[in-house]
Amino acid sequence: MTTPTRPDLTRSGAEASPVSVAVDVAAPVEHVFDVFTRRTSTWWDAAHHLLDGTVDMDVELRPGGSITEVDAAGNRCTIGRVLVVERPARFAFTWDVSPRWEVETDPARCSEVHVAFTALDDGRTRVVLEHRHLQRHGGGWEGMRDAVGGADGWAVDVRRLAEVAGA
């Protein structure tokens, strides 16, 4: 079950509330973390790529590492930088995508995606993904918030993560 929340501004100029999506996965926390970080292309929705014909995603699992889409011809498009790797509990990265759905090269105009993995008593894992600081993208950030927070946004990806990791 995924539960998206719609962010809002608490007052003029204030930081936007994060987009938050949660899902319980029928698999141990270490496995779910590995599927999220090492088998990203298996759960990331094909409609959510910047690079046409993306066939793989490369995640360098170290702070400062890149998250890169790769197409069949070997062309690469970096869409984020790894901020936190705390296996198996936390993973965070920048979202280097502009409101025009192009690569954002200015780090000050990038939001962040934080993912928490919590082991549950019955061998399942709760995954909570929060897309934070969306207002950093500047003009048009509300459209990005609506897209990643909508039914076709992160909710699709975490639902697919649950299917892939729980299989």
pLDDT given at position 9: 42
Q: Which secondary structure element, helix H or strand E, spans residue 22, and what is its range?
A: strand 19-25
pLDDT digits (tens, 9 = 90+) for 108-145: 999 999 999 999 989 999 999 999 999 999 999 999 99
pLDDT at 2 over 60: no
Short-list 39, 5, 40, 44, CA closest to 21: 5
pLDDT tier at 13, thresholds 50, 70, 90? low
Q: How far apart are CA 131 and CA 104, in angstroms?
A: 16
Mean pLDDT of the chain: 91
Domains defined for the chain, CATH in brackets: 20-49+84-166 (3.30.530.20)
pLDDT digits (tens, 9 = 90+) for 76-118: 999 999 999 999 999 999 999 999 999 999 999 999 999 999 9
Q: List Cβ neighbours of 32 (8 Å cut-off, separation of 6 or more).
A: 25, 88, 117, 125, 127, 161, 165
